[in-house]
Structure 1
Amino acid sequence: MTRRRSRVGLTVLIIVVLILGGLGYGVYHLIKKAQPFALGEHCLVTTSDGTLDLDIEQAQIAATIAAVAARRKLPDRALQIAYVTAIQESKLANLPFGDLDSVGVFQQRPSQGWGTVEQLNDPVYATKKFFAALEKVKHYKTLPLHEAAQAVQRSADGSAYAQHEPSAKILTGAFTGRVPKAVHCWYPPADKPVTPQPKEARKQLVRALGDDSSADHGWLIAEWYVSNAQKYGLREVHYGGMTWTAEAGHDGWLKDDAKASGAVRIA
Structure 2
Amino acid sequence: MRPRFSRAVITIAIIVVVLAVGVSFGLYHLLKRTPRLAVQEDPFCVVKTPEGVLTLDPEQAQISATIAAVAARRRLPERAVVIAYATALQESKLLNLTYGDRDSLGVFQQRPSQGWGSKKQLMDPVYATNKFFAELVKVKNYRKIPLADAAQAVQRSAGGYAYAPHEGDAKILAAAFTGRVPQAVHCWYPAKQTPAPKPRTDAARKQLAKALGSTAITTKRRGWLMAAWSVAHAEKYALTKVGYNGATWLNDIEADGWQRGGAAGARRVELA
2: CA distance, partners of 1:58 / 1:259: 29
Q: Matches of 1:228 and 1:115 in 2, distance apart?
A: 26
- Are the structure 2 counterparts of residues 264 and 115 from structure 1 closer, same or farther at C-alpha, using a change threshold of 3 Å? same
Judging changes above 3 Å, is the alpha-carbon distance between structure 1 residues 55 and 249 closer, same or farther for their aligned structure 2 residues? farther
Query: Is the contact made by 2:54 and 2:169 (CA closer than 8 Å) also made in structure 1?
Result: yes
Hey, what's the Cα distance between the residues in 2 that align with 1:51 and 1:142? 26
Q: Which amino acid aligns with 2:172?
A: I
Distance 2:154 2:72 in 1: 20
What is the identity, as a one-letter code, of the residue corresponding to 1:209?
L
- RMSD of aligned alpha carbons: 2.2
Aligned to 1:120: 122
Aligned to 1:25: 29
The more displaced of 136-145 and 52-61 is: 136-145
The letter for the 2-side match of 1:30 is T
Change beyond 3 A, Cα 1:235–1:31: closer
Contact 1:186 1:250 in 2 (8 A): no
**2:29 partner letter:** Y
Q: CA deviation at 1:21?
A: 5.8
Q: Which residue number in structure 2 is paired with residue 159 of structure 1?
A: 161
Of 87, 90, 107, which aligns to 2:89?
A: 87
Q: State the identity as a percent.
A: 55
Post-superposition CA distance 1:103-132 (Å, at most 9, x none): 100000001111000000000000000000
Please name the residue that 1:3 is paired with: none
The change in CA–CA distance for 1:72 and 1:44 in structure 2 (over 3 A counts) is same
Q: Which residue of 2 aligns with 1:187?
A: 189
Change (3 A) 1:214 1:248: farther
Instruction: Specify the SS of the correspondent of 1:230.
Output: coil
Where in structure 2 are there 5+ consecutive unaligned residues?
Answer: 1-10
Residues 67 and 265 of structure 1: CA distance in aligned 2, closer, same or farther (over 3 Å) = same
Q: Which amino acid aligns with 2:31?
A: V
Q: Give the superposition deviation at 1:251.
A: 2.4
What amino acid is aligned across from residue 236 of structure 1 in structure 2?
Answer: K
Distance in 2, Cα, partners of 1:227 & 1:249: 18
**Contact 2:243 2:263 (8 Å CA) reproduced:** no
Structure 1's consecutive aligned runs of 4 or more residues displaced over 4 angstroms after TM superposition are 19-24
Structure 1 residues 169-194: Cα deviation after superposition (integer angstroms, max 9, x where no partner) = 10110000100111101121123432
Tell me, yes or no, if structure 1 residue 199 matches structure 2 residue 205. Answer: no
Match of 1:171 among 159, 170, 173: 173
- Amino acid corresponding to residue 178 of structure 2 in structure 1: T
Gaps in structure 1 of 5+ consecutive residues? 1-5
Alignment of 1:38-187 (within 5 A): 38=41, 40-187=42-189
Go from structure 1 to structure 2 and tell me whether the alpha carbon gap of 1:202 and 1:249 turns closer, same or farther (over 3 Å shift).
farther
Tell whether the 8 Å contact from 2:36 to 2:254 is kept in structure 1 after alignment: no
Equivalent residue letter for 2:270: R
- What's the CA shift string for 1:147-175, capped at 9, x where partnerless? 00000000001000000000011011000
Kindly state the Cα deviation for residue 222 of structure 1 after the two structures are TM-superposed: 0.4
Structure 1 residue identity aligned to 2:150: A
Counterpart amino acid of residue 219 in structure 1? W
**Whole-angstrom distance in 2 between the partners of 1:88 and 1:254:** 34
Q: Secondary structure, in 3 states, of the residue corresponding to 2:186?
A: strand
Cα offset, 1:249, TM superposition: 6.8
Of residues 236, 242, 246, the one that matches 1:237 is: 242
User: What's the CA shift for 1:250?
Assistant: 5.0
Structure 1 residues 218 and 162, CA gap change in structure 2 (3 angstroms)? same
Aligned equivalents of 1:250 and 1:85: distance in 2? 32
Listed one character per residue, the Cα deviations across residues 23-46 of structure 1 (whole Å, up to 9, x for unaligned) are: 6534322143534x33x1111111
Q: Which amino acid aligns with 2:36?
A: K
Distance verdict in 2 for CA 1:74–1:158, change over 3 Å: same
CA shift, 1:136, in A, is: 1.0
Verify the 8 A CA contact 2:264 2:270 in the aligned structure 1.
Answer: no
